[in-house]
Amino acid sequence: MEVTAVASNPLAAGVDTLIVSLFERGNTPSGVTGTLDRKLGGVIGELMAAGDVSGRAEEVSVLYPRGAVAATRVLIVGLGPANTFGSEAVRRASAVAGRRARELGARKVASVAHGAGVSGLSLGEAAQATVEGTRLGLYRFGEDAGIESFTLMEEDPGKLDALRDGVRWGDAVAEGASLARDLVNRPANVATPEHLAEIAQGLARDHGFRVSIGDRAWAESEGMGAFLAVARAAGHEPRFITLEHDPSGGKEAPLVIVGKGITFDSGGLSIKGRQGLESMKQDMAGAAAVLGVMRVIGRLRSPRRVVALVPATENVIDAFGYRPSDVLTAADGTTIEVISTDAEGRLILADALVYAKRFKPRAVVDLATLTGAVDVALGNAAAGLFCNDDALADALASSATRTFERAWRLPLWPEYVRVLESDVADLKNSSGKPSGGACVAAGFLERFTSYPWAHLDIAGVRAVDSTEGYKVKGSTGFGVRLLADWVTRS
């Protein structure tokens, strides 16, 4: 789907489908929708009076103007009440309108930037949200959007720059999130560590990033005993991916983003049950999001220096695999007693967090489907946010609010690490009890950090069971929009 911005009157657009919008409880249609109403002889006002069109959030009404405006059909999408309105309502409305247009066989679609100027939403923000919602809502795994062109229109040529900017950002961010969705939705025999490495190499070629791919021997030379233990039983060879965008030529201290890349989590010898095991192909959602963020940064030519680290391996079983009771040595010399081979994410992240230090980072943020416990605590509504630096936590929280990829701060108290005291090593990888699971896992990770650091536990938000708004059944691509916003504002 080609997405563009043009300065022209949407009502004159020679497209098959035009999308406009309406607020709830406004007594008359305004803006383009108002002009449309007059051209249609007041039919929208009549439908509103009759209650057939209400402006309720995500309501879609289809009208056939029969020559009164250039488009063959017009979709009016509801934005909900103006007083609770914001960019999230725009993304959701755009997604449902886009999908309805596709169902109706639309090929060439034009739209207004929904809600521009209302409740402090600038035209650029409205345009970005409209494009994001449309592209994300039309996402289908293994298929294109099904619509040829999507054109945002605004008659005033003086506003074209803002419109273009919003379209550019929205399109880049949605592309990054779609890359993450694709990677997570791919089966584990396709989305292998080597596959993730190839994707990273493709990003490097496309955007001029520095890339290096470490194999087992490389990880050994780095002393990554925790990462290698998880990888020991792996049939698909592990990869440690480093991808760097460095417009400053090494002058600027980088932002480092780390993604858990377990391409399949069987639990290892601490084997999981058979229920829902297929969803463990999604255990590389953190890695996928990190690669998605790099796509956005590359497309937008971000001025910030960003390093992405992805430790990638499957966690499976064979005779040579690691076992509960094994003692491992991480890259910084910390010894770890294995209690559960299913607490593997924190092991591979430990070595990645140690590795991050050599970049002298300004901040490090990791994304990981780390615990079932965070899903119990927060469900689908938010990621767990753990942070050792209040300024970093605040910055991430405001990006989370702005993008509606919500993150809720949880504590990093010493009590959570105390339960990891070991008789035979510096610490255990699990307390062996479910109590405070998400916080204990985060406390384990903190032991390997020595810089401003945040951890986002995305186990609960990585995917949805059914399509709703701009989230399409399967992977959400969570974290791409949040971190792209954070990098941009850092």
With contacts defined by CB under 6 A, name the span among 48-56, 197-205, 221-229, 364-372 that binds ligand BES.
364-372
Q: Which two tokens stand for residue 57?
A: 């959030």
Residue 342 interacts with Mn ion (CB under 5 A): yes or no = yes
Asked if 272 is an active-site residue, the reply is yes
Kindly tell me which of 344 and 351 has the beta carbon lying closer to ligand BES. 344
Which of the residues 370 through 399 are near ligand BES (CB under 6 A)?
370-373, 375
Residue nearest Mn ion, Cβ-based = 342
- Give the span between the Cα atoms of 78 and 138, in whole angstroms: 18
| CB burial string 309-322: b at 16+ within 10 A, e below | bbbbbbbbeeeebb
Residue 459 interacts with ligand BES (CB under 6 A): yes or no = yes
With contacts defined by CB under 6 A, name the span among 4-12, 327-335, 343-351, 443-451 that binds ligand BES.
343-351
Residue 154 interacts with Mn ion (CB under 5 A): yes or no = no
Residue 314 interacts with Mn ion (CB under 5 A): yes or no = no
- Residue 340 Cβ, how far from Mn ion at the closest point, in Å? 8
Task: Choose the catalytic residue: 56, 232, 272, 362.
Answer: 272
343 phi and psi angles, rounded to 5 deg:
-95, 60
Query: Quick check: 197 and 213 in contact, CB under 8 A?
Result: yes
Residue 375 interacts with Mn ion (CB under 5 A): yes or no = no
Kindly tell me which of 153 and 419 has the beta carbon lying closer to Mn ion. 419
Q: Which two tokens stand for residue 459?
A: 């186990």
Kindly tell me which of 151 and 429 has the beta carbon lying closer to Mn ion. 429
Kindly tell me which of 322 and 470 has the beta carbon lying closer to Zn ion. 322
Pick from Mn ion, ligand BES, Zn ion, none: which does 19 bind, CB < 5 to 8 A by kind? none
**Residue 372 to residues 195, 272, 460: CA-CA distances in angstroms?**
26, 12, 7
Task: Provide the CB-side half-sphere exposure for 413 (13 A, CA).
Answer: 7
Q: Is 121 helix (H, G, I), strand (E, B) or coil?
A: coil
Identified binder of ligand BES from the candidate list 125, 132, 283, 446, rule CB under 6 A: 283
Identified binder of ligand BES from the candidate list 437, 443, 452, 469, rule CB under 6 A: 437
Query: Quick check: 227 and 347 in contact, CB under 8 A?
Result: yes
Angle of CA points 9, 35, 93, to nearest 5°: 80
Kindly tell me which of 115 and 238 has the beta carbon lying closer to Zn ion. 238
Q: In Å, how far from its chain's centre is CA 483?
A: 8
With contacts defined by CB under 5 A, name the span among 224-232, 295-303, 334-342, 475-483 that binds Mn ion.
334-342
Pick from ligand BES, Zn ion, Mn ion, none: which does 29 bind, CB < 5 to 8 A by kind? none
List of residues 6+ apart from 421 with CB closer than 8 A: 427, 428
Beginning with the edge strand found earlier in the chain, give each strand of the sheet holding 149-153 in spatial order.
Answer: 2-6, 149-153, 108-111, 17-24, 73-81, 60-63
Per the listing, tokens 């994300």 go with 136
Residue type, 466: S
Give the interface with Mn ion as residue ranges (CB under 5 A): 265, 342, 344
Give the interface with ligand BES as residue ranges (CB under 6 A): 265, 283, 340, 342-345, 369-373, 375, 430, 437, 459
Catalogue the active-site residues: 272, 346
